Amino acid sequence: MLFLRAVVLGTIVVSGYGSDRRFPSGFKFGSASSAYQVEGGWNASDKGESVWDRYAHDHPDIVVNGNGDVACDSYHLWKEDIRIAHELGLHFYRFSISWTRIMPTGFPTAISETGKQYYSNLIDGLLEKGIEPVVTLYHWDLPQKLQDLGGWTNPLITDWFSDYARIIFSFYADRVKTWITINEPILICDGAYNMEFTAPRIKEMEMAPFLCNKHTLIAHAKAWRIYDTEYRHKYHGKVSLTNNLVWMEPFTPEYEDLAELALQHCAGRYAHPIFSKEGGWPPLLEKVIAEYSRKQGHVRSRLPPFTKAEKELIRGTYDFFAMNMYTSRLVRPSEPGDGPRIWFVTGSPELNITLVADPRWKVGAVSIMPAYPVGMRRQIAWLRREYGQHLPILITETGYGSLDRNLDDEERIDFISDHLEQILLSIKEDGANIIGFSVWTLMDNFEWMDGYRSRFGLYDVDFKDPMRKRTPRASAHFYSHLIKTQILHKTRVRSHRHEDVRMSKRSSNSSSNFTGLMLLLYTIFLQLFILL
């Protein structure tokens, strides 16, 4: 095979922050992806149809420039994914399993041996390179057959999901020690049903978000308890779910109580039932939504209650707190002229709030996700106040999107560095127990509604190349150096030019050796600058 490597030739400027910028021993750095966004092979072998297969095929006018039919072609190029993860020096690689690649109908009546082997190969390949696989059971790609039966609004889905989880644990729990049950239930529920942000494109804002909310929590809890009773004593792994958190700050100081209510609506609604001592919905939020429901004419709250047994089932089903975080918002009361408030984007009619972004915050390719790194530290402090000062926290996603293929991605380096600085402050000054950090994403991929327009990758992917060539950006070199030194240095790479260097046909071992040598020389070069 002919490999092409883009070499960045430029001026490197490094400033060291000193020993206080060293991460604690045992802190892990990783990167993340999801099945539909990278795998392709949408109908390979006996794989079944997911909601995203259906959605992207039926709405090419809505999804920007394409679908996930091929994506990064990781289904065939999984060895390349392992190669670049190893090139970076990742401690862990977070990926998700496609439900329909393992169980084509969504039910355990049929198991795909091809799908089972695909993930087994990926897990074994990562472990051989010393990279821990962190596996997400569900990252948005519900089997279409289950969606036809009501999807996450059908209470039976909690059993369907637990059946799926049990099978996946039986296949891989001997090798996978860190599990995420469900990725971002707030986007599965609130994002999907409030604003048609994601498949299955059903807009029902009154009942569906809250039904989905409850059922994702119960599904998670059942999966956690399966692992706890059937696998923990054998393999000693850890399980949690991860949500997408948005830090909420008062627009002006007098709106502090309103910001707290917004935090309970965003984070608490998906965390309080699991992580609080008493369980159930956040009490203040439960009261507000009940009152609003009565004003609407409902005879009972739109927020469905938990039974005592359900509270006990859910409460305590965690081994760590996993969080994705990209952005923040300012909170103020809604005013005439604000227009419709759609939760998670502009506000909430239940809470009578409007969410706005500070115009000073940095905006990347995704305009609804302006960056406010300080919000990361403040969100972590809030979680610790709510759920315990020693709560282990794993940052499972954050990242910066761009609209170009520029390899000199200084803005992405700034984003990662600025957020890691806040994480270090959380650890060293606040005493937070943060155990790891994961960049979204390892490589450019299919970014849902934004298709291939937004690029979040540490590695550029050429989607016009049949081999989906992966090329490291400056941020990849920055991140690799950070992982090796465990010290947060601000590294800028200003490129004078790029040139493609054609490497002759060679074995995978020699290719890996060459890459390792280049990274070693790069690291030595950086360290010399630091010493100077």
Give the residues across from 56 on adjacent strands.
Answer: none
Q: Which of 88, 68, 105 is nearest to 446 (CA)?
A: 68
Element (H, E) at 245: strand 238-250
Angle 249-479-509 (CA atoms, 0-180°, nearest 5)?
A: 150
Query: Which residues, in sequence order, are CB contacts of 120 under 8 Å at separation 6+?
Result: 171, 172
C-alpha span between 178 and 239 (Å, rounded): 6
Query: Which residues, in sequence order, are CB contacts of 437 under 8 Å at separation 6+?
Result: 27, 28, 29, 30, 395, 398, 420, 423
Catalytic-residue membership of 397: yes
Side-chain-side CA neighbours of residue 19 (13 Å): 0
C-alpha span between 60 and 64 (Å, rounded): 7
Q: Which two tokens stand for residue 433?
A: 């127990």
CB 109 within 8 A of CB 453: no
CB 519 within 8 A of CB 485: no
Q: Considering 49, 184, 260, 350, which one is annotated as catalytic? A: 184
CB 210 within 8 A of CB 304: yes
Element (H, E) at 416: helix 410-428
Angle 262-191-294 (CA atoms, 0-180°, nearest 5)?
A: 55
Catalytic-residue membership of 184: yes
Q: Considering 39, 249, 397, 421, which one is annotated as catalytic? A: 397
- In the three-class reduction of DSSP (H, G, I as helix; E, B as strand; rest coil), residue 221 is classed as helix
Active site residues: 184, 397
